[in-house]
Structure 1
Amino acid sequence: MAPIKGINKLPASIKVEQAAELFMKMATVSSAISRLDEKFRHSVVKSDLINTLALKESVQSTRIEGTQVTFTDMVNEAHKSEQKQEHIEVLNYRRALYLGQERINNGYPITTRLILELHHVLMDGARGANTNRGEFRKIPNWIGPTGRLEDAVYVPIDASEIESYLMNWETYLNKHPYGEKMDISHLSDDTVYILDENIHPLLKVAILHAQFESIHPFLDGNGRLGRILIALYMMQSEQLSSPIFFVSEELEKQRAKYYHLLNETRGKNPKWYNWLNFFLDASQRMAEKLNVLLDQAEQIARTGLAKCDGHSERLVYLMTFRYPNITAVQAAEHANIAASTARRTLNALSEKELVFKDQTQRRNVEYFNYDVLGLFDK
């Protein structure tokens, strides 16, 4: 069967009756995300938990691309001087996410320039790093089960069209600087509902993600970067105050369906409804899961803090939500306390069974918060 070739520019459209169904579902998802953000704003572990949430997301997103690394692997290998290539890819994902968060917090919108900057970080020392790191592809590529064109299921736009399509994508994301409406001449049917640049951010981010994957601007790293952009856009659109809405875990569970429905949004007659419905369902499951996780983390933290004596113990204990595998050197550096104080504090927390000390180590002893790890290693 011949592969699908190219994509239409944005905006997209669906049938009117489909729009009504999506809007009802979207209201439920949006409510769950609002509850999550409200909880997070008032949580005692909010800033510390972001790091661990981001690590989990980084693992799940790279697993979609076929890596076998797990969250437990990353925690256990956290203090190794040399990292495996798969671990580097996970850590790069988190670095790129943090960079994007910093840019958004400083008032910079998501733009082509930021995308190139994030890709440069994402591909640092990773597979494919020598293939146009931080640069758009200059040659054709295709998506399929093998490396052969004859087995391709989708052939993206030509490299010469990337700039034009990304300009359209960026305008859809940020709207026209002078308020001009986007061109909809490619949407000729009067019976459709136009998903224009003013639609709700949840539908918009789903469309932006699919379109970015379809433009496929890089030779490698498109999927991972596209999923980073989901979290960043949810911040930019003020749906969330922090990058805590990660859907890669749910997408990874249904990887085949994820790729299949993305492919349906391509070609001259794209089918957007199935993809949008799938994305909202995945978002709903993830929002509910994150709400439960945050409630559990909050309960663990408050119970643990009640057992802590003094400021240092409380400070270092909360730090284990950020670094559930921590050393005295790491605690001293991040808490700005003496290494001896950090070691003494961690030992005190170990005696209270709030963390567990690796008794087999003589140097660079690692302390594990298994209560936190239990929340994520599922």
Structure 2
Amino acid sequence: MVLKGIIKLPISVSKEKSIEIYKQLAKTNLVIGKMDAHINRSLVNDSLLSLLSFNESVQSTRIEGTQVTFHDFMENKNKKEMDWQNKEVSNYHEALMYGVDQIQNHHMPISTRLLRRIHSILMEDARGTSSASGEFRKIQNFIGPNNKIEDAVYIPIPPNEINSYMENLEFFINGENHYSFDIDKKDSEEYFPYDASPLLKMAIAHAQFESIHPFLDGNGRLGRILLVLVSVKESLVSSPIFFVSEELEKERIRYYNSLNSTRGQKPDWSTWLLFFLQASERMANNIIQKLLSAEQLATTGMDNCETDMQKNIWLATFTNPIATAKEISSFLNIHPATAKRGLDFLVTKNMLDRDDSKKRNQKYYNYDLIRAIQN
């Protein structure tokens, strides 16, 4: 029997399952705290924030079927003309950073208006129904293996109910009470209200948005951006560096199946919450390893440099792991010849690789850093 629609927030699980969820929540929060401490001590934290945000953009779009790797995108991100796959990653990154800026620097709430604007950025010149970018769907859609609704695994709420469900979600995300939260509660159930802990709020908001499926296209990508936005709003970590899509992409089918368990009139939220918390724990440990590897690489490289300029150029490659001398000169505001001399020195020390197949506009590659981010 196909699942249809969803129940409005708040959600509940059995008391027994809630104990399991809270135990996992404590474990995950502990690892995220360690990750945050590493970020604050890191020599290259700003550079890694940039690279991890690019990696998030790659991994999230790979869930949707693109084949672009982190290396591919870093190679192509400055090109004026891109194929649709790189364009989709570029749009994702622009939309992600726009949303983070609006919340972090302009103190905007996570509103329907903001999500519509982010969706417009996400869909610009990309695949899908870009003509409806920023607009809620006006027709019934469905999720399934093909374009036949009779084969659907899930049929979302009808278009005329989207605004009501999005209002319910918006109040939940922003931690404000709403009349729709007033429900008859059962003593045997544990409820997660609008002031739930940040990780639980992230998980619930993501799943609910995906199930509302308010747009014709781009719901999955926007739903994963929403995870980051909630983490920023809730100050989960001191920098917007906690990106989960890499772990979700590794277990894509489990991810989709867990989301599907939250749907219908008898949802099982515990499966999704446990999956998300466990994936978040793995991702936090993964980010710690990326940070440690990059930090070690930066420190060792600095020891090999002979001048302050060489050190600056070396650290510049942690923001620009694939770059030309012109790009490094622009980044550091130095003469291109100075940048080239520094980069060539790093090549002699086996810290960078240079594309010797070209005589002009040669690219320099910090492969060790790329490997650290991709691992």
Q: TM-score, normalised by structure 2?
A: 0.96
CA deviation after TM superposition for structure 1 residue 340, in Å: 2.1
For the pair 1:144 / 2:144, whether they are aligned, the reply is: yes
Aligned to 2:153: 153
- Alignment identity in percent? 45
Aligned-partner residue type, residue 175 of structure 1 = G
Matches within 5 A, 1:118-137: 118-137=118-137
CA contact (8 A) 1:62 1:224 kept: yes
* Aligned ranges 1:46-57 → 2 under 5 Å: 46-57=45-56
In structure 2, the CA distance between the partners of 1:129 and 1:346, relative to structure 1 (3 Å rule), is farther
1:220 is aligned to 2:211: no
Distance 1:206 1:64 in 2: 17
The amino acid across from 1:207 in the alignment is: I
Report the AA paired with residue 74 of structure 2: V
Equivalent residue, structure 2, for 1:248: 245
Structure 2 partner of 1:312: 309
Paired with 2:289 and 2:370, the residues of 1 have a C-alpha distance of 15
Name the counterpart of 1:24.
23
Aligned-residue offset at 1:182: 5.6
Task: Give 1:302 deviation, angstroms.
Answer: 0.8
Question: SS of the counterpart of 1:322?
Answer: coil
> Which deviates more from structure 2 when the two are superposed, residues 350-359 or residues 87-96?
350-359
Separation of aligned partners in 2, 1:281 and 1:114 = 29
Give 2:164's aligned residue: 164
SS in 1 for 2:364: strand
| Letter of the 2:134 counterpart | G
Q: What code does the residue aligned with 1:236 have?
A: K
1:125 partner letter: D
User: What residue number does 1:322 align with?
Assistant: 319
Counterpart-to-counterpart distance in 2, 1:269 and 1:123: 33
> Retained in 2: the 8 A contact 1:78–1:325?
no
What is the rounded CA distance, in whole Å, between the counterparts of 2:109 and 2:83 in structure 1? Answer: 33
Say whether the 8 Å CA contact 1:131–1:219 is kept in structure 2: no
Aligned partners of 2:355 and 2:362 also within 8 Å: yes
The 8 Å contact of residues 326 and 367 in structure 1, kept in 2 or not, is answered as: yes
1:300 maps onto 2:293 in alignment: no
Q: CA deviation at 1:335?
A: 1.3
Give the Å deviation of 1:375: 0.9
Task: Quote the offset at 1:89 in angstroms.
Answer: 0.4
For residue 337 of structure 1, what is the amino acid of its counterpart?
Answer: I
CA distance in structure 1 between the partners assigned to 2:96 and 2:312 by the alignment: 25
Any idea what the Cα deviations from partners look like across 1:178-213, whole Å, max 9, x if unmatched? x5676232x543310111112111111101000000
Deviation of residue 314 (structure 1)?
A: 2.0
Does 1:257 pair with 2:254?
yes
Cross-structure match for 1:350: 347
Q: Deviations over 1:92-119 (max 9, x none)?
A: 1111111112112212222111111111
Moved more, 70-79 or 242-251: 70-79
Task: Report the CA distance shift for 1:188/1:66 in structure 2 as closer, same or farther (over 3 A).
Answer: same
Q: Which residue does the alignment assign to 1:184?
A: 182
1:173 aligns with 2:173: yes
1:12 aligns with 11
- Kindly state the Cα deviation for residue 311 of structure 1 after the two structures are TM-superposed: 3.2
Q: Comparing 109-118 with 187-196, which one deviates more in the overlay?
A: 187-196
Give the RMSD, CA atoms, in angstroms. Answer: 1.6
Given the superposition, is the C-alpha separation of residues 312 and 104 from structure 1 closer, same or farther in structure 2, using an over 3 Å criterion? farther
Secondary structure at the counterpart of residue 317 of structure 2: helix
1:270-312 CA-partner distances (Å, limit 9, x unpaired): 1100110111111111111111111111111111112223333
Q: Secondary structure at the match of 2:326?
A: helix
Return the match for 1:372 from 359, 369, 374: 369
1:76 deviates by 3.3
State the alpha-carbon separation in 2 of the partners of residues 78 and 362 from structure 1.
Answer: 21
The TM-score normalised by the length of structure 1 is 0.95
For residue 321 of structure 1, give the secondary structure of its aligned residue in structure 2. Answer: coil
Distance in 2 (alpha carbons) for counterparts of 1:91 and 1:47: 19
Contact residue 77 and residue 86 of structure 2 kept, 8 A: no
SS of equivalent residue, structure 1 residue 137 = coil
Letter in 2 for 1:300: L
Question: CA-to-partner distance for each residue in 1:34-93, whole Å, 9 max, x for gaps?
Answer: 111111112111111122111211111111111122222223334544211001101111
**Aligned position for 2:83:** 84
Indicate conservation of the 8 Å contact 1:316/1:346, yes or no. yes
Q: Does 1:281 align with 2:278?
A: yes
Confirm or deny: 8 A CA contact 1:250 1:285 kept in the other structure: yes
- Secondary structure in structure 2 of the residue aligned to 1:57: helix
The corresponding residue for 2:39 is 40
Q: Are the equivalent residues in 1 in contact too, given 2:325–2:339 (CA < 8 A)?
A: yes
Q: Distance in 2 between matches of 1:129 and 1:304?
A: 47
Instruction: Read off the aligned partner of 2:174 and give its amino acid letter.
Output: N
Give the distance between the partners of 1:79 and 1:67, measured in 2 at CA.
19
**1:223-245, Cα deviation, whole Å (9 max, x unpaired):** 01111111121111011122211
Which stretch of the first structure deviates more once superposed, 331-340 or 206-215? 331-340
